[in-house]
Amino acid sequence: MSREQMLATLRTSLASNRAWLEAEAHKASHTPPPFVLPPADDLAAQFAAELTKLEGRVYQVADNEEALETLATLLEERQATTAVAWDLAEIGLPGLDKLLAERGVQVLEPVVRDEVRKAQLQVLEPAPVCLSGAEFAIAESGSLVLYHGPGRPRLASLLAPAHIAVIRSDQIVRGLGEAMARLRERYAGTLFDVTSNLTLISGPSRTADIEMTLSLGIHGPPELHVVLVQTP
């Protein structure tokens, strides 16, 4: 059956209930609330507390230098020699390229396309860490908003057993409604022009499918580390 036939069937059906549905639709405002929980004193502290509850780790650091030290420790602990990462410029932490070079960490920039797709995936698969930035962080839910696109591959928050993300405290918003409104303001009608994907991440991969026992890392990274740099 074609598109037009299916739509015609739909329209015929809708005719009998459209008025009732419209009345139901008008019973509440359609504008989402910017946030849904009572206010907290400090957004950075709220974000850190929420993500910690979800088994994520948050490192609140004073400046870029301390951020680099934290990253160095995380890479050292995982004995990382490779990392699946965003373009370092997109992560936006000055000195990160130098740190990785000094530590001998090779940045694997995914080019997972065409005939080389499967071969590339096998190259990326053994990497012990993923490195990314984020567009926003949401305090109420301990979430990261990753606006993927050129230079910001999806696999750089997905493939390895540890995902390390770097954000600044001025990127934190209070609720999901606020984050979505800001995205719309920032990108207006162009949100999906050069990118096909926007992902919210709230904690490490989890499942409770075996006897309701919480387990981390069934498919996505079992570890999520967020280095949160205080903005002056």
Partner 1 sequence: MATQTLHFHDRVDTALHDETLKTALERATTRFVGNRAGAIDALEDADGLRRQARALRANALSKLDELLVRLADQVEARGGKVCWAADGEAARRYIVDLARDRGVKSIVKSKSMASEEIHLNHALEHAGFEVVETDLGEYIIQLAGETPSHIIAPAIHKTREQVSALFEKHLGMTPTTEVPPMIRAARTALRQRFLQAEMGISGVNFGVADTGAIAIVENEGNARLSTTVPRIHVAIMGIERIVERFDDLAVMLQVLARSATGQKLSVYTSIISGPARPDEADGPEEFHLVLLDNGRSRILGGQYVESLMCIRCGACLNACPVYQAIGGHAYGGVYSGPIGAILTPLLQPDLPDAYLLPQASSLCGACQEVCPVGIAIPDMLLRLRADAVKAGKAHPVETAGIKSYALMMKNPLVYRAGGRAARLGSRLIGRKGRIRHLPPPLHLWTHGRDFPQPQGSQSFSEWWEERQKKGRTQ
Local structure of residue 171 (DSSP, 8 states) = G
Interface residues for partner 1 in 71-90 (CB under 8 A)? none
* Location of structure tokens 């602990």: 77
Q: Residue 23: CB partners within 8 Å, gap ≥ 6? A: none
Judged by CB under 8 A, the stretch of 63-71, 94-102, 126-134, 210-218 that binds partner 1 is 210-218
* Closest CB to partner 1 among residues 162, 229: 162
Q: Which of 220, 223, 227, 228 touches partner 1 (CB under 8 A)?
A: 220
**SS3 of 110-157:** CCCCHHHHHHHHHHHCCCCEEEECCCEEECCCCEEEEECECCECHHHH
* Closest CB to partner 1 among residues 67, 159: 159
Put the strands of the sheet holding 57-61 in their side by side order. 57-61, 223-229, 162-168, 129-132, 82-85, 106-108
As a whole number of angstroms, the distance between CA 44 and CA 75 comes to 24
* Closest CB to partner 1 among residues 106, 215: 215
Interface residues for partner 1 in 37-56 (CB under 8 A)? 37-38, 50, 54
Interface residues for partner 1 in 157-196 (CB under 8 A)? 158, 175-177, 179-181, 183-184, 191-196
As a whole number of angstroms, the distance between CA 148 and CA 135 comes to 9
Question: Does the footprint of partner 1 cover residue 101 (CB under 8 A)?
Answer: no
Question: Does the footprint of partner 1 cover residue 116 (CB under 8 A)?
Answer: no
Count of residues that bind partner 1 according to CB under 8 A: 95
Contact 129, 106 (CB under 8 A): no
* Closest CB to partner 1 among residues 9, 106: 9
Q: Which of 48, 59, 61, 110 touches partner 1 (CB under 8 A)?
A: 110
Interface residues for partner 1 in 126-145 (CB under 8 A)? 138, 140-143
